[in-house]
Structure 1
Amino acid sequence: MGVRYTVKQVADLTGVPAATLRAWERRYGVVAPQRSSSRYRLYDDAEVARLARMAELVREGTPASLAAERVATLATETAPPPVPGPRHPVAAPAGQAPAFTELVLAAQRYDQRLLTTVLDGAFARSSFETTLEQWLMPALTELGYAWERGDVDISGEHFVSAAVHRRLSAAFDAAGANTDAPVVLVGLAPGALHQLGALAFAVCLRRQGIDVRFLGADVPQHSWVHSVRTLRPAGVIISVPMSWDADPATRLVHTLRADHPEVVVWTGGHGITDRGHELAVPTLPPSAVEAALLVTRELRGR
């Protein structure tokens, strides 16, 4: 059996209260979750994806009854013909995510067709959040290990990373602008270049209904100050992907807190894990999904 989620976990992932999820199940039959031995609802990835899509439709103004019909139609439609695969025997079995090593193979061969097929298959299988946590980030970690071993050239790693960046950027745009929601700045400190994790987090946060302004990599300190002064955001998230990015991030945090004490500042990323206590600012969990949920709850609670 694949991963199963409780109603609380699904509520966190979709932004829909548990009571509403249960109501959608009773009234519209959108999902039919299994029950644990204690009679708790347990949702699979496909059900989470349907509920997430229904939530998106309702947020866009579609009546719940009509949204349920559309989701049901999507679930029963015949799947489109598969994209012709590469000549390499690496296609995942039906219903399974691609192997992590398929990104490595695409990087080794600079194989655009394989890379597109692998990414299409992964993101079509489940919700964005599930794919991100259970496949994309572990696959990128495996790609990094392959580069460290010398199995992949740095140009091949960049080839794959650029494609992933395009996918995440498209997901960011698809999430919508969320005007009239709290404004949050997300970016990297001066000199920090590895931005895929920050962008993935920005997508998750935008999908939670937050107005995210993504500043990208290597943002000079004076530009951070300027953007905060201009936008007066509700929050600022500084990504610290590598250990050597921690010192510039530390200086940036101190500057922003001194100039704008009213703005909530968070840090996140592997490079800050053991340094967060020095900054006296909240440190986000390593999971982009969990971090986005935490920030969303904090902002809405304020």
Structure 2
Amino acid sequence: MNVHRIHRVAKLTGLSKDVIRAWERRYGIVKPLRSANRYRTYTDDEVALLRYVKAQMDKGQSIGDLVATGRERLVAEAARSAVTEPSESGPYERLLNELIKLLDPLRRESFERRLNGAVAVIPFEEALYGILLPLQIRVGQLWHDGRLNVAVEHYVTNQVRQKLFAAMSHLPVHDKGLSVVVACPVGEFHEVGAQAAAYICASRGCQTYYLGANTPIDQLAIFCRQIDPNVVLLSVTTPTPAHEWSSWIATLCDLMTPRQTILIGGAGAQSLSLPEAARRIEILSDLPTLQQRLAVLMAKQSSHVR
């Protein structure tokens, strides 16, 4: 996860440095770390939290009432609001429209300059929820409707994937904490959602193994027996035939140990029904739900370590 000095946080949130320090001192809303030279540093989550609190205050809520709900709840609401706000009223609607216009005909230089510039000046997680994933969804729909060449759709997908890989490469590599294997099952080649999920896991301090697209379930099972992860996370974007799903479930149940959790997300997962025997397999509705589930699992692991 990226970290920011207080002057940059002030620009990103619209709050003065004095207000940020006061909220830290009086209410403990943010908990900055100190760099080697003693400067305050704030994470992307803390920037998102400050922006959420400011937005709620702009709507008439008091700082006292917001603080009374508890910091953990505010963090969860800040993460959820980044995804659930209607796109037409979101801050990046104009940018997304401009980017779409640059695709037909494709004006590569202008598109990449505009996209790169926008992603570079905000916390990456905000860029992920506000720009990259909405752009991917819109371009996919345009291709599905026959309004955009599939080659252009592939081009945009790879631009998004590059941003995700670059962001992950700047995260620390963890050798302790919750271990998570992220993969797309065999026949699933749309991996942006899986990459986003892997980024969320890695940015929360998880030991993250990203296997990518088209991973056969039996080979995933072998890998998991070697790694023994706490969590196996599958991304399914397209509906899966019932007979294939039954086979997956049988294999997944075979690989599970009592301490393992299997999470399945993506648009294709929402139509899946779980048999009674698959009690440790959970369907996730979206990335904020993944964040909340990770927080619970990490808290449980931490309590066991103690």
Question: Structure 2 length normalisation: TM-score?
Answer: 0.66
SS of structure 1 residue aligned to 2:214 = coil
Match of 1:222 in 2: 218
Matched, 1:153 2:149: yes
**Hey, what's the Cα distance between the residues in 1 that align with 2:233 and 2:93?**
31
- 1:250: how far off? 4.7
Match of 2:71 in 1: none
**Hey, what's the Cα distance between the residues in 2 that align with 1:105 and 1:247?**
42
Match of 2:238 in 1: 242
- State whether residues 239 and 271 of structure 2, in contact with CA within 8 Å, keep that contact through their aligned partners in structure 1: no
Q: Pick closer, same or farther for the CA change 1:250–1:269 going to 2, 3 Å.
A: farther
**Hey, what's the Cα distance between the residues in 2 that align with 1:29 and 1:224?**
39
**Hey, what's the Cα distance between the residues in 2 that align with 1:246 and 1:109?**
41
Superposed CA RMSD in Å reads: 3.3
**Hey, what's the Cα distance between the residues in 2 that align with 1:213 and 1:19?**
37
Deviation string 1:222-249 (CA, Å, 9 cap, x unpaired) is 2101110110011100111111377645
- 1:216: how far off? 0.2
Matched, 1:194 2:193: no
Q: Which amino acid aligns with 1:296?
A: A
**Hey, what's the Cα distance between the residues in 1 that align with 2:159 and 2:227?**
31
Please say which of residues 127-136 and 207-216 is displaced more in the overlay: 127-136
Matched, 1:290 2:289: yes
Q: Pick closer, same or farther for the CA change 1:104–1:24 going to 2, 3 Å.
A: closer
Matched, 1:266 2:290: no
SS of structure 1 residue aligned to 2:114 = helix
Please say which of residues 33-42 and 209-218 is displaced more in the overlay: 33-42
* 1:1-302 alignment, distance < 5 Å: 20-22=28-30, 24=32, 34=54, 35=57, 36-39=60-63, 40=65, 99-244=95-240, 248=244, 250-262=246-258, 263-278=260-275, 279-280=278-279, 281-286=281-286, 288-302=287-301
**Hey, what's the Cα distance between the residues in 2 that align with 1:295 and 1:117?**
35
**Hey, what's the Cα distance between the residues in 1 that align with 2:245 and 2:162?**
26
- State whether residues 190 and 248 of structure 1, in contact with CA within 8 Å, keep that contact through their aligned partners in structure 2: no
SS of structure 1 residue aligned to 2:103 = helix
Match of 2:4 in 1: none
- State whether residues 177 and 298 of structure 2, in contact with CA within 8 Å, keep that contact through their aligned partners in structure 1: no
- State whether residues 235 and 266 of structure 2, in contact with CA within 8 Å, keep that contact through their aligned partners in structure 1: yes
- State whether residues 136 and 160 of structure 2, in contact with CA within 8 Å, keep that contact through their aligned partners in structure 1: no
- State whether residues 185 and 237 of structure 1, in contact with CA within 8 Å, keep that contact through their aligned partners in structure 2: yes
Count how many residue pairs are aligned between Structure 1 and Structure 2: 235
**Hey, what's the Cα distance between the residues in 2 that align with 1:29 and 1:182?**
25
- State whether residues 202 and 214 of structure 1, in contact with CA within 8 Å, keep that contact through their aligned partners in structure 2: yes
Instruction: Specify every segment of 5 or more residues in structure 2 that has no aligned partner in the other structure, as ranges.
Output: 1-12, 14-25, 34-38, 68-74, 76-90, 302-306
**Hey, what's the Cα distance between the residues in 1 that align with 2:161 and 2:41?**
36
**Hey, what's the Cα distance between the residues in 2 that align with 1:218 and 1:198?**
12
Q: Which amino acid aligns with 1:115?
A: F
**Hey, what's the Cα distance between the residues in 2 that align with 1:176 and 1:23?**
20
Q: Pick closer, same or farther for the CA change 1:139–1:251 going to 2, 3 Å.
A: same
- State whether residues 276 and 282 of structure 1, in contact with CA within 8 Å, keep that contact through their aligned partners in structure 2: no
- 1:168: how far off? 0.7
Please say which of residues 99-108 and 191-200 is displaced more in the overlay: 99-108
SS of structure 1 residue aligned to 2:205 = coil
Deviation string 1:60-93 (CA, Å, 9 cap, x unpaired) is xxxxxxxxxxxxxxxxxxxxxxxxxxxxxxxxxx
Q: Which amino acid aligns with 2:228?
A: R
Q: Pick closer, same or farther for the CA change 1:162–1:284 going to 2, 3 Å.
A: same
- 1:127: how far off? 1.9
- State whether residues 192 and 217 of structure 1, in contact with CA within 8 Å, keep that contact through their aligned partners in structure 2: yes
- State whether residues 218 and 251 of structure 2, in contact with CA within 8 Å, keep that contact through their aligned partners in structure 1: no
Q: Pick closer, same or farther for the CA change 1:134–1:276 going to 2, 3 Å.
A: farther
- 1:38: how far off? 3.1
Match of 2:87 in 1: none
Counting aligned pairs with the same residue, the percent is: 21
- State whether residues 240 and 268 of structure 1, in contact with CA within 8 Å, keep that contact through their aligned partners in structure 2: yes
**Hey, what's the Cα distance between the residues in 2 that align with 1:208 and 1:260?**
23
Question: Structure 1 length normalisation: TM-score?
Answer: 0.67
**Hey, what's the Cα distance between the residues in 2 that align with 1:132 and 1:250?**
33
**Hey, what's the Cα distance between the residues in 1 that align with 2:184 and 2:41?**
44
- 1:135: how far off? 2.4
